Structure 1
Amino acid sequence: MKNASNKPEHITKGDIFDDLGFSPAETLEMKVKAEIWQALVQHIEQHGFTQAYLVATLKAHQPDVSNLLRGRISRISITKLIQFAARLNLDARVKVTSPKATGKALPSLKASTAKSSKSKRELAHA
């Protein structure tokens, strides 16, 4: 039932994942997946790729492509998202850093994707 005054029933005072009761490890995984997904979708939209093109290029089944485009990333692993980035000629990197003085137990990860400027040969010898 909607609140009669149209005010939010809960206001988060920090990280929404913490408020929802996820562990630091689960929160970290969801954030990394979301960052990779966001970069993939942005790239796909910029290039106007069709689902049929993505099925062939990503070497994925149509339901997986549909899940990707609809943001259903809980059904897609981080590994699969990174593979999709590589197949779209994007370079995906995860950077591990020491925790800031916030008292959190896990280090933070920063996921990013960028156009790959290295050839496959350069990557194989790296």
Structure 2
Amino acid sequence: MSKKEYETGGRNVFKDIGVPDAEEHFVKAQLVFKIDTIMKERSLKQIQAAALFGVRQPDVSKMLRGEFRQFSVERLLRFLVALDQDVEIVVKPHRDRNNAPALHVS
């Protein structure tokens, strides 16, 4: 049996694989995950979500399949507000000397 080599990645897979604008893409992915989770919890169909968001159903479908470059972070935040979510942006001093400052979605 041969050993397989692997490299441990960082916290952002998009940065690890060289995606342009990796930090923004990572934040968008986290926001879309939240949107998808809420839709599933509410049994909300894509057509219903599209009406709430003011977009077409195919756009919601693409977004949920990972094709979300067309949506800005701000627009995804507005989708969360349309789903009755409070969105809070917190800016605080960076304290971890081992890692660079970053954007986080929680």
Tell me the matched-pair count.
Answer: 104
Rounded to whole Å, the distance in 2 between the matches of 1:72 and 1:64 is 9
**Superposition pairs for residues 85-104 of structure 1, below 5 Å?**
85-99=80-94, 100-102=96-98, 104=100
Query: Does 2:28 align with 1:33?
Result: yes
Query: What letter corresponds to residue 60 of structure 1 in structure 2?
Result: V
1:24-75 Cα shifts (integer Å, max 9, x gaps): xx33212221221111111000011112211211111222211222232233
Of the three residues 18, 21, 34, the one matched with 1:21 is 18
Pick closer, same or farther for the CA change 1:47–1:103 going to 2, 3 Å.
closer
Larger Rg: 1
> Which residue pairs with 1:61 in the alignment?
56
Structure possessing the higher relative contact order (Cα contacts under 8 Å, 6 or more residues apart): 2
Q: Structure 1 52/42 Cα, relative in aligned 2: closer, same or farther at 3 Å?
A: same
1:33-52 equivalence runs, <5 A: 33-52=28-47
Deviation digits for residues 89-126 of structure 1, max 9, x if unmatched?
Answer: 1112333333320262xx322224xxxxxxxxxxxxxx
Cα gap change, 1:47 to 1:72, in 2 (>3 Å): same
Is 1:12 the equivalent of 2:8? Answer: yes
Determine what percentage of the aligned residue pairs are the same residue: 30
Question: What is the root-mean-square deviation of aligned Cα atoms in Å?
Answer: 2.7
More strand by share: 1
**In the alignment, which of 65, 72, 95 is matched to residue 70 of structure 1?**
65
TM-score of the pair, normalised by structure 2: 0.75
